[in-house]
Structure 1
Amino acid sequence: MTPRLKIIIPIVVIALAGAAGAWWWTSHRGDDDVLTLQGNVEVRQVNLGFKVSGRIAALNVDEGARVEAGDKLASLDAVYFEDNLRQMRAQRDQAAANLAKMIAGNRPQEIAQAEALVSEREAASANAKVSLDRATQLLKSAAGTQKTYDDAAALNRQTTAQLASANEALRLMKAGFREEDIDLARAQLADKDAALRIAERQRIDADLLAPTAGVVLSRVRELGAIVNAGETVFVLSLTTPVWVRSYVSEQELGRIKPGMAVELHSDTTQIKPLKGTVGFISTTAEFTPKTVETRELRTALVYRIRVVTDDPDNVLRQGMPMTIIAHPDAATKPAAGIPSAEAK
């Protein structure tokens, strides 16, 4: 080997080693800036049922149907609710009319009738007094009998009492109803108002509405079935927003924070990457006991996290595997259009 080669070979080896070191440093430094987690689209579902009992008259959706918030999913036979509603309205109107009558008091014609009765009783009382005076004079002169006097005295007492009763009745007519009676009528009206509102609410509850956007997973009951209040009719899978569940090790726990923006990738190449936000990090470890003695077991602890995202193209499915890519060194702020952790 020539002296020249002896000089060139070490220089080439040193250069190659430097390049390899630089490549290793660059590649591993880039990995430290990226946190990759594996997760699945979380299954979220709700059992839907009527708030009232009845017979199912209509089922408007089937399994697999996509619904929006407020869509009518099913209806009960409304005839019983409508009959009850008409009955409650009639009872409410009756109570309102009774209260109005009590507040208005007696009609002028009724008062005039009571006054006429008083005049009639006054005339009868005056005539009875005259008859008693005549019977008294006749008895004193021995021209009349004791029986005639007794009959005249009894008639006088009777007509006097009738006159007093007519006068009291007239005063009651003019005074109107008692405040206690008016308060009672007002309370009865309030009771009928409450009963009417309950009947109206029951009629509204005869329609089963979707509480939020989602997909119908199963239809539990069929048309014509009699269901009780709260009995499951549909099972709805919630799709908005989409939750992705994943787990982060204790070693990486400090690198992820609520509100951090992440990217979501699916194994299906046709699905575009989605933007998401870390919405929840569990405060307790999972899969291992709470009391851990060795350092090896402590580093094996994992914590559940939730990533919130939107699915505008409706491509995500319950349980679908997802890859979560986070940049811990990037600024912690929600991705555009994704709800923040506080909002959820």
Structure 2
Amino acid sequence: MNFKLAVSSLATATATATATATVAAVAALLAACTPPAGSTLPGVVEAELVRVAAPAAGRLVALTATRGEPVAAGAPLFRIESPDDSALLAEAEARVAQLAAQQADLAKGKRPDELAVTAAQAAQARSALTQAETQLARERGLAREGFVSGTRLDSLTADRDEAAARLRELEAQQRVGRLAGRDDTRRAADAALLAGRAQAGQLRARLADKTVRAPAAATVEDTLFRVGEWVGAGTPVVNLLPPAALKVRFFVAEAQLPRLKPNDAVTLHCDGCAAPIEARIRFIARSAEFTPPVIYSREQRAKLVYLVEAWPAPADAMKLRAGQPVDVALAGAVR
């Protein structure tokens, strides 16, 4: 009986010792994760969201982004369509075709049929000139014999000169008809064609841009429209939260400013965090402000404080949530 009692007492003592050791280990772990009272400043986690907007006005026809889901860089988020865009592109392409045809027409000169008409008129004028010269030569022979007056010779000479001038005119028209358009006219046509092609290319790019993609790997924080709704140009449709977009904002008193410099490290403590998180200071306000009306702890006595912002590493930032209160320890701030 005494033996059983001794064994029972030994077992009880062993269990008590084990429980005590466990409690001590947990207490030590909590002590490692919890900063000493009064050695920290209250802060809050804030997110710098990436607001992905529609490049142009249109109707939201597809929304592939899901709230709370991660997206890869370049993944489609949503698509906007406008009924006017396709019509505008078709009009621009037709305009380009018209300008190209006009440019080609200026480079060719007159059409073959038009040149043929001018050639026939020149042949007719050449025949008339030959006939006028023959008639003038015959009348001159008769004039030497006294059968034709000087007035008659003057009239025939004028007819011959008129026929020669008409032939020269038509031959000049033939040469001009074979030429292309004037240099200034052709340059104007070239410029108009380039402008038309640029406009058509811009419309094609705008149609392609209607599918908006994620600029970087992130988590979809919120979607602001539903499929079928009209979205204005430049209006955000999806809010993204990249891993590096979480920061901690906290306020320090003037006496603490000399301890802080950009790129200094601070330590963040939060409820539920397995271990402290390191963050780097990127911003320190130059001007003071009054203590915010909503403060993140029960102990805040400074009347004038300075805003400080610190960023944790992207891997550590994923452990935090926007709006989460944290304790910021400055004692370990180092260069």
TM-score (norm 2): 0.68
Match of 2:195 in 1: 191
Q: Say whether residues 1:121 and 2:110 are aligned partners.
A: no
Distance 1:312 1:236, change over 3 A: same
Contact kept, 8 Å, 2:267 with 2:332, in 1: the verdict is no
Q: Say whether residues 1:283 and 2:279 are aligned partners.
A: no
Match of 1:269 in 2: 273
The CA distance in 2 between the partners of 1:177 and 1:240, in whole Å, is 62
Match of 1:227 in 2: 231
The CA distance in 2 between the partners of 1:227 and 1:159, in whole Å, is 75
- Of residues 301, 306, 328 in structure 1, which corresponds to 2:304? 301
Match of 2:328 in 1: 324
The CA distance in 2 between the partners of 1:329 and 1:278, in whole Å, is 9
Deviation readout 1:7-58 (Å, 9 max, x if unpaired): xxxxxxxxxxxxxxxxxxxxxxxx99x9633211113235433122222221
The CA distance in 2 between the partners of 1:43 and 1:110, in whole Å, is 75
Q: Say whether residues 1:251 and 2:255 are aligned partners.
A: yes
Contact kept, 8 Å, 2:66 with 2:220, in 1: the verdict is yes
**What letter corresponds to residue 70 of structure 2 in structure 1?**
R
**Higher mean displacement: 112-121 or 236-245:** 112-121
**What letter corresponds to residue 220 of structure 1 in structure 2?**
L
Deviation readout 1:107-140 (Å, 9 max, x if unpaired): 9968974556534432234335556788999999
The CA distance in 2 between the partners of 1:94 and 1:257, in whole Å, is 65
Contact kept, 8 Å, 2:51 with 2:236, in 1: the verdict is yes
The CA distance in 1 between the partners of 2:98 and 2:62, in whole Å, is 35
Aligned length: 285
Match of 2:95 in 1: 91
Q: Say whether residues 1:74 and 2:83 are aligned partners.
A: no
Distance 1:269 1:240, change over 3 A: closer
Counterparts of 1:1-344 in structure 2 under 5 Å?
36-77=40-81, 80-96=84-100, 98-99=102-103, 102=106, 105-106=108-109, 113=116, 118-127=122-131, 130=134, 159-160=163-164, 162-270=166-274, 272-287=275-290, 300-312=303-315, 314-327=318-331, 330=334, 332=335
Match of 1:12 in 2: none
Which secondary structure state, in structure 2, belongs to the residue aligned with residue 312 of structure 1? Answer: helix
Kindly state the Cα deviation for residue 229 of structure 1 after the two structures are TM-superposed: 1.7
Which secondary structure state, in structure 2, belongs to the residue aligned with residue 284 of structure 1? Answer: coil
The CA distance in 1 between the partners of 2:248 and 2:233, in whole Å, is 33
Deviation readout 1:46-91 (Å, 9 max, x if unpaired): 5433122222221112332333443221112377534543543443
The CA distance in 2 between the partners of 1:79 and 1:130, in whole Å, is 75
TM-score (norm 1): 0.66
Give the unaligned 5+ runs of structure 2: 1-34, 293-300
Which secondary structure state, in structure 1, belongs to the residue aligned with residue 188 of structure 2? Answer: helix
Contact kept, 8 Å, 2:70 with 2:217, in 1: the verdict is yes
Two-structure CA RMSD over aligned residues (Å): 4.1
Distance 1:188 1:83, change over 3 A: same
Distance 1:238 1:269, change over 3 A: closer
Q: Identity of aligned pairs, percent?
A: 27
